[in-house]
Structure 1
Amino acid sequence: MGDSVLLTLRKIAGTDLRVSPVGLGTVKLGRDKGVKYPTGFTIPDDQQARRLLDLSRDLGINLLDTAPAYGNSEERLGPLLQNQRNHWLICSKVGEEFNPQTGESHFNFTPEHVRFSVERSLKRLQTDVIDILLVHSDGNDMDVIQRYGILEQLELLKSEGKIRAGGMSTKTIEGGIETLKRSDIAMVTYNLDYREELPVIDYALAADKGIFIKKALASGHISQGADTDPVRASFDLVLGHPGVSSAIIGTINPDHLHANVVAATESLSEGPQKN
């Protein structure tokens, strides 16, 4: 495709980490059960996955989003990232466990499980540090934060050098803001169809904390029935907010990935399109 670097790294507010404004979500590298996408897909083989990672790197993406709940995504990324680990920021999670036999998830937020999960992720990813570790909330954000002291657990892991930054993938405004008060980064949902968590992004901007956006393209559902180019309009909204560090895009289609990065780059350089 003859790609040149399109994305410029930016600082995650409040940290010393520099991140691409678009990150690659890797759930589709390891899990095809219990995921909410408009069409079915086949998990790519190693050659296809390697090509996708190479394209991502060529385009300037340096953020990979994975999780124990993404099937065998972590195990696959470990070997795939050998000899190029320094290029990537790896964001993984704790809290949600996925059973590939049943396609069901369960949650465990105890300090013992957090430590077990991190040590397991380090082995799977074949690395000695996870750049960003987020708690995979079950939706009861405040309960998870207050009952288990989980964000304090992340601070402990950070002090031990096992992670470089911590936070939570939240589902409520209150939980998102509390996460930012106690840690580095909140991952929130924000797209053309869902803007309820905007106060968390506003808070992050004011407090000099990081924000990752999940479902920026509404898991692929955003492209139906919009007047303007929905991908460009999505990036205009999401990356147009100065509080956003990066938007995670979970595609395994190289053409879609390339088109998404082009749209994001144009949005960042030109500003929002006028209708």
Structure 2
Amino acid sequence: MMTSTLHDFHRLLGGTGLSVSPLGLGTVKLGRDQGVKYPSGFSIPDDNQAGHLLSLARDLGINLIDTAPAYGVSEERLGPLLAGQREEWVIVSKVGEEFSNGQSHFDFSPAHTRLSVERSLTRLRTDRIELVLVHSDGNDLDILRNSGVYETLAELKREGKILAYGLSGKTVEGGLLALEQGDCAMVTYNLNEQAERPVMDYALAHGKGILVKKALASGHACLRPGDDPVRLSFEQLFAHRGVAAAIVGTINPKHLSDNVQTVASVLAAQQQ
């Protein structure tokens, strides 16, 4: 059986002008194996395995890749791995959260925000990052109103170093403010958690971008009994027309192919 791909299902990310695949590849597992919320352990793949995974993702029609300074060495590894194919990827990175010695710490100041983006550009070996999200610690409103991070991202966008910005937050109020003043919000939305749905509704009404994290509940959706939980997750998610893409962080080629097949099948059914 021919594996379905996502090439025909790319869509615009809100008003950013960026065309993205409905499934994005999350790369936390390329960079760190401490302090991650997955139900089973894993080994960080070597460069050969990581390169194979990226190549498979491209073949399957994925052009969206999600990384962050807090993902250990993810950005440094992606730089050389994406050499020669930069134009084929839409890169999402973050600012605000740093991860070292097994601990996260946060800095949303203008100086650190600029330093972080410049460092990400160097690590990723690129002259621009398509989308930079504020990696919230949960105090969404305080960060957006008082830290200066959004104003700094707006400057970096004017300078052409980033093409769009937004918030990967934890509250409805934060998501709404992030969209009001920025381009995109990354929200949690899955079979177990739907509290941030109003942010998705706002995005749909105002032409803003939505990316979904934890679409499969960090792998825990796969542990549900009964019906196919992965399919149910994607059916629920893509039933909302405000959603541009779901970020799924897998390093298992079979899981990646299966997820793509499921998403393609769900989207094809919705088009009928």
TM-score (norm 2): 0.97
CA distance in 1, matches of 2:258, 2:4: 13
Q: For residue 96 of structure 2, what is the amino acid of its counterpart?
A: G
Kindly provide the amino acid, as one letter, of the partner of residue 234 in structure 1: S
Q: Distance in 1 between matches of 2:22 and 2:181?
A: 23
**1:172-228 Cα shifts (integer Å, max 9, x gaps):** 000000000000000000000000110100111011100000000000001122321
4 and 198 in structure 1: CA distance in 2 versus 1, 3 angstrom threshold: closer
2: CA distance between counterparts of 1:237 and 1:118? 34
Contact 1:4–1:58 (8 Å) recurs in 2: no
Give the aligned residue type for 1:261.
Answer: V
- Cα distance in 2, alignment partners of residues 151 and 116 from structure 1: 14
Residue 121 of structure 1 is matched in structure 2 by 120
User: Which secondary structure state, in structure 2, belongs to the residue aligned with residue 227 of structure 1?
Assistant: coil
- Report the counterpart of residue 18 of structure 1 in structure 2: 19
Does residue 200 of structure 2 align to residue 201 of structure 1?
A: yes
1:88-139 CA-to-partner distances (Å, cap 9, x unmatched) read: 000000000000xx21000000000000000100000000000100000000
Q: Which position in structure 2 is the counterpart of 1:47?
A: 48
Report the CA distance between 1:240 and its aligned residue: 1.5
Q: CA deviation at 1:6?
A: 3.1
Match of 2:253 in 1: 254
Cα distance, 1:4 vs structure 2: 6.4
1:132-176, Cα deviation, whole Å (9 max, x unpaired): 000000000000001113212111100000000100101000000
1:96 aligns with 2:97: yes
Structure-2 residue corresponding to 1:60: 61
Give 1:268's aligned amino acid.
L
Q: Report the AA paired with residue 188 of structure 1.
A: V
Contact 1:3 1:58 in 2 (8 A): no
Counterpart-to-counterpart distance in 1, 2:18 and 2:119: 23
CA contact (8 A) 2:5 2:61 kept: yes
Q: Secondary structure at the match of 1:244?
A: coil
**Contact between 2:222 and 2:229, CA under 8 Å: does it hold in 1?**
yes
Percent identical:
61
Indicate the residue corresponding to 2:265 in structure 1: 266
Letter in 1 for 2:89: W
**Corresponding residue pairs, total:** 270
Give the Å deviation of 1:239: 1.4
Q: Could you tell me how far apart the structure 2 residues matched to 1:32 and 1:225 are?
A: 24
Question: Cα gap change, 1:45/1:2 in structure 2, threshold over 3 Å: closer, same or farther?
Answer: farther
Runs of 4+ deviating beyond 4 Å = 1-4
2:156 aligned counterpart, secondary structure: helix
Contact 2:213 2:246 in 1 (8 A): yes
Counterpart-to-counterpart distance in 1, 2:65 and 2:116? 18
Equivalent residue number for residue 80 of structure 2: 79
Q: When the two structures are superposed, what TM-score results if normalisation uses the length of structure 1?
A: 0.96
Any idea what the Cα deviations from partners look like across 1:15-56, whole Å, max 9, x if unmatched?
A: 111000000000000000000100000000000000000000
Mapped partners of 1:78, 1:215: distance in 2: 25
Instruction: Please name the residue that 1:181 is paired with.
Output: 180
Once residues 4 and 79 of structure 2 are traced to their aligned partners in structure 1, the CA distance between those partners, rounded to angstroms, is: 25
Gaps of 5+ in 1: none
Query: What is the alpha-carbon distance in structure 2 between the residues aligned to residue 225 and residue 25 of structure 1?
Result: 22
Query: Could you report, residue by residue, the CA deviation over 1:210-252 in whole angstroms, capped at 9, with x for unpaired residues?
Result: 0000000000001122321111100001111100011000000
| Aligned 8 A contact 2:5 2:264 in 1 | no
2 CA distance for matches of 1:224 and 1:76? Answer: 31
Distance in 1, matches of 2:6 and 2:242, equals 21
